């Protein structure tokens, strides 16, 4: 299925009335996708999950019903989650710590699968990675010194990097946690930090205005708000002449300079395998939280040229994808 076709499908699914979405045989299990974002920001990842479910025998509209929920704002989070709990769906798949925390608060009975969550232990989602307990399992983006590696990479591609801006959605616990890791990494490298705090999409443009002339590069902490606004962030960063580092390759494809992190398509396919196990009787408490074992380095040479940067050959040789 083409990306545009799938996103169109998701957009339609999000708009269907509940009566239309509920027309499935009673014996067909229901999997709900619950995320803060939009079909365009998360549709490609969910497409990978649906494809893997199909490979495992779960055919949408035949052997499994799939509900799509793209929440915007905290109140919408709570209302949407409450609706899913009342409908007693069989499994809830979330992306991001914020959505997962709302899901955890709403139900201790319905299995929850984390397609990708930053530090589920540190944010209080689970007791431990090997023994999550309760009704939650999934995949963690947590990795030792990942923020430090990103900061070191950014310093490698930006000559004379001294002042590093950190853009963070302060309403996101996971993003705030990532900022703390960036602060530690920057301090170890002797870099000065410049704060760029946001809470909503309307804060992004003013934040970049305040950074002009005050920073040599920007580290963008990941969360659903910046994911949904990645094109806007990349455009504004270019306008401010700021090289950017992010954790997901989609940011770089949207015009960012460089990213280093787990492959989300791989994570979502693995999440589908956990959903499969749960639908076949496994308990989330018995399924350890998994961590990525490989990380992708992606570089956008077109953006580098626009910024007047020459990416070192040592970096290009390590890159998993180079966008030209």
pLDDT, tens digit, for every residue of 276-324? 999 999 999 999 999 988 899 999 999 999 999 999 999 999 999 999 9
Q: Who contacts 302 (Cβ-Cβ below 8 Å, separation ≥6)?
A: 323, 324
Q: What is the pLDDT of residue 143?
A: 61
Instruction: Indicate whether 13 pLDDT > 80.
Output: no
Per-residue pLDDT of 100-110, as tens digits, reads 888 999 999 99
Tokens of 77: 């989070």
Compute the half-sphere exposure of residue 225: CA atoms within 13 Å on the CB side of its CA: 22
Q: What is the pLDDT of residue 76?
A: 59
Q: What is the pLDDT of residue 51?
A: 96
Instruction: Indicate whether 239 pLDDT > 90.
Output: yes
Least confident of 14-23, 148-157, 272-281, 312-321: 14-23
Q: What is the pLDDT of residue 18?
A: 37
Per-residue pLDDT of 108-143, as tens digits, reads 999 999 998 888 888 889 989 999 989 999 999 866
Tokens 């018995």 correspond to: 286
**What is d(CA 24, CA 63) in angstroms, rounded to the nearest whole number?**
9
Instruction: Indicate whether 71 pLDDT > 90.
Output: no
Contact 185, 292 (CB under 8 A): no
> What residues does 259 pair with on adjacent strands?
246, 298
Mean pLDDT confidence for 90-101: 88
Tokens of 153: 């990479």
Portion of the chain with pLDDT greater than 70, in percent: 87
Ordered structural domains, the chain, with CATH: 3-142+263-286 (3.40.50.2300), 146-261+295-323 (3.40.50.2300)
Write down the pTM of the prediction.
Answer: 0.80
């Amino acid at each position: 299925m083409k990306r545009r076709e799938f996103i169109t499908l998701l957009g339609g699914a999000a708009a269907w009335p509940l009566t239309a979405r509920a027309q499935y045989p009673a014996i067909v299990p229901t999997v709900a996708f619950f995320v803060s974002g939009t079909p365009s920001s998360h549709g490609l990842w969910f497409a990978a999950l649906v494809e893997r479910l199909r490979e495992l025998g779960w055919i949408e509209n035949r052997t499994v019903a799939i509900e799509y929920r793209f929440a915007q704002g905290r109140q919408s989070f709570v209302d949407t989650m409450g609706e899913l709990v009342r409908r007693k769906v069989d499994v809830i798949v979330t992306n991001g710590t914020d959505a997962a925390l709302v899901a955890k608060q709403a139900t201790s009975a319905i299995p929850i699968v984390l397609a990708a969550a930053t530090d589920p232990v540190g944010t209080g989602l689970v007791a431990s990675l090997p023994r999550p307990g309760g009704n939650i399992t999934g995949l963690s983006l947590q990795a030792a010194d990942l923020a430090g590696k990103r900061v070191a990479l950014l310093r490698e591609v930006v000559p004379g990097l001294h002042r590093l801006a950190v853009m963070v959605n302060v309403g996101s616990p996971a993003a705030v946690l990532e900022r703390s890791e960036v602060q530690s990494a920057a301090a170890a490298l002797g870099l000065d930090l410049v704060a760029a705090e946001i809470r909503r999409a309307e804060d992004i443009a003013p934040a970049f205005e305040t950074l002009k002339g005050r920073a040599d590069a920007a580290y963008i902490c990941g969360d659903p708000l910046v994911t949904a606004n990645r094109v806007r962030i990349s455009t504004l960063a270019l306008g401010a002449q700021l090289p950017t580092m992010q954790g997901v390759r989609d940011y770089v494809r949207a015009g960012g300079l460089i990213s280093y992190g787990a492959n989300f398509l791989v994570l979502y396919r693995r999440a589908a395998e956990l959903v499969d196990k749960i639908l076949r009787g496994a308990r989330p408490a018995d399924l350890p939280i998994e961590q990525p074992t490989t990380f992708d380095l992606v570089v956008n040479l077109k953006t580098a040229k626009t910024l007047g940067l020459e990416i070192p050959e040592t970096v290009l040789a390590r890159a998993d994808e180079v966008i030209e």
